[in-house]
Amino acid sequence: YCKWLCEEGLKQYHIPKKAKAAEQIQEAFEQNPAANIRQLYLSFRPDLRAAFPTALLPTGQRTFLHWLLTYGRAEFAFPEEKVYWFLMESAEVPAREFEITYQTSQQWQQWFPAGLTRFGRDALLDWAKTRHRLSDEVIEQIRERTDSTTMDDVRVAYWSQPQWRKRFPQAFKTRQGTNDLVAWLHTQFEDLPTFPTLAATASENQQLGLNVLGHFCYPSGLQQSVKSIVRSLHEVNVPVQRRDVPAHYKVDGSDHAEYLDFETYDVTLIHAQPHPNVEMPYEDVSYNQAGLEPRADVYRIGYWYWELEDVPSTWKAAAESVDELWAPTKFIADAMRKDLSIKITPMTPGMELGEVEKVDRESFGVGKDEFMFLYMFDVKSFLMRKNPMAVIEAFKRAFRKDDRVKLVIKVSSGDRDPKGFGLLKKKAEEVDAIIIDKVLSRGKSYGLIDACDCYTSLHRSEGLGLTMAEAMMMSKPVIGTRYSGNVDFMSDSTSLLVDYELVPCQHYVHNNYQDHKWADPSVDHSAECMRWVYKNQEEGKAMGERG
């Protein structure tokens, strides 16, 4: 529809190109007004999916519309225009919506394995036509979309068909076993026009691949971590199936449908940690949250982040659900080894910078001749752990009012802790610090780091410390607490590490951290580091280059 509006629609309504209507229309569609409704339904309310299993399809929209306009609007305050946008978007390509419904319904996947492949679709479509009154037109659209068969489709079907596995036990393990399976399937499904190309390339498809479950759509360090792992695997030609584990419908990006792959390979990496306070089946925070029916006989690896020296006691039960654990840093690995009797391997995620969008310092109040200190963090990651108050206090002790310096603190989700964020803003006024509270694109976040002269993190504890690593990759001098995950990549020759004392966490209100310890970085030592890097800017730049 957007394409039609921008081309034929403009002509039909005699709108001149110079009016830039096409750009404005595209911008409106890119904002995806119905994203929150779709995310709520697909990812965060299994009760809605159970009550309205065909809410995305023509036969189920009427009843779901009633819920949206009554209970939905009352509970979530969805504007009426967003509701109707959701309906129009869902009605545009019913076959696509049917695929998404299947991809996010564990029940449908369980009842009809390989239902979106040529090998399993007939039973699914016959049932959908009878049970949910799908029209012949929509059925035919789905058939057309599933006619083209890939080797991934063959893998999905192979693992759903016990008789295939029994007849060809070496398929996807040896070249000959894979070729034998493909040759046999060719005799069984001669009407597949694309199948001969599979036979020609089948010998290349017995290699090891990896299924990856993670927060692909949640703008955070966890998102960057899981995406960097996938990029690293692609660099060495390891095929990957990606499955999004939603975090929250209000913050996740709208590209959830791009990460709905199935478990086609024999090994799965689950890049989502268990709940720290509640002992619950690990599947609830991984497979069930992702809307994915777990495949049998898969070797599963958990990739878990944590910030303290001891992992939560609830993780013991979760660790029994996986075959081994990978830890992003040695700090996390050591914490895991204290209590978890499972194979644990330190596995730092690959780090690389994407495109850096240039940011004008003056646009947010930093003068050209001012030396800029920067700290960035997400309030959802717990303000007291990130410890921005110490950064402000150190800055206050380090400089006089006539020093040409400026402190910038970039936060996300300040509304998640109104009281703490209010105290932060009040503290910032003492040194005329600039507070930026908004979600930026990765490119602009990189641009903000690139615009600073020194990056500072006086964290109490970090699982990894991604922003410090990114600043070092941009050759910035970095001041950071000499504690936790960041010391894996920071040393005295490449950065300014701040002394600390271990203190109990019980003085800080956060259930996850009760009975634990973390660092209390020295504010005086931090101030000395700030003063040194300001007074010795050439030496600071050289240190940044060594990082």
Tell me the average pLDDT across 59-83: 92
How far apart CA 521 and CA 501 sit, in angstroms, is 7
Reply yes or no on whether the pLDDT at 211 is more than 90.
yes
% pLDDT > 90, the chain? 68
Select the more confidently predicted residue: 29 or 56: 56
Reply yes or no on whether the pLDDT at 263 is more than 90.
yes
Say if residues 270 and 244 touch (Cβ distance below 8 Å): no
Percent of the chain as helix, strand, coil, to the nearest 5: 50, 15, 35
Q: Which alpha helices (DSSP H) does 61-150 contain, by range? A: 61-67, 73-76, 80-92, 94-103, 106-111, 121-132, 136-146
| Average pLDDT value for the chain | 91
Q: Sorting pLDDT into bands at 50, 70 and 90, what band is 507?
A: low
How far apart CA 165 and CA 78 sit, in angstroms, is 48
pLDDT at 103: 96
pLDDT in tens, 26-43: 888 877 888 889 989 988
- Where do the structural domains in the chain lie, given as residue ranges? 210-346, 361-546
Q: Sorting pLDDT into bands at 50, 70 and 90, what band is 509?
A: low
Select the more confidently predicted residue: 351 or 300: 300
How far apart CA 223 and CA 212 sit, in angstroms, is 12
CATH architecture of 361-546: 3-Layer(aba) Sandwich (3.40)
pLDDT at 366: 95
Tell me the average pLDDT across 462-469: 95
pLDDT at 149: 82
Q: Sorting pLDDT into bands at 50, 70 and 90, what band is 376?
A: very high
Average the pLDDT over each of 6-15, 191-200, 406-415 and give the range with the smallest value. Answer: 191-200
pLDDT at 506: 66
pLDDT at 329: 97
Say if residues 495 and 543 touch (Cβ distance below 8 Å): yes
Mutual angle of helices 537-546 and 523-535, in 10-degree steps: 100
Select the more confidently predicted residue: 449 or 219: 449
Q: pTM of this prediction?
A: 0.89
Q: Sorting pLDDT into bands at 50, 70 and 90, what band is 510?
A: low
- Would you say the CATH fold of 361-546 matches that of 210-346? yes
Nearest-CA neighbor of 371 among 542, 524, 530? 530
**Residue 435: which H helix or E strand, with range?**
strand 434-437
Mutual angle of helices 94-103 and 136-146, in 10-degree steps: 70
Residues near 19 by beta carbon (within 8 Å), at least 6 away in sequence: none
In the sheet that holds 371-378, the strands lie side by side as 434-437, 405-412, 371-378, 454-457, 478-481, 496-498
pLDDT in tens, 160-208: 999 999 999 999 888 888 889 988 988 888 765 555 455 555 555 656 8
Reply yes or no on whether the pLDDT at 216 is more than 80.
yes
Q: Sorting pLDDT into bands at 50, 70 and 90, what band is 441?
A: confident
pLDDT at 192: 58
Other CB atoms within a 10 A radius of the CB of residue 40 amount to: 20
CATH of domain 210-346: 3.40.50.11930
pLDDT at 508: 54
Give me the long-range contacts of 428-434 (CB less than 8 A, separation at least 24): 428/392, 430/392, 430/396, 431/392, 431/395, 431/396, 431/399, 431/407, 432/406, 433/392, 433/395, 433/406, 433/407, 433/408, 433/409, 434/364, 434/365, 434/366, 434/406, 434/407, 434/408, 434/409
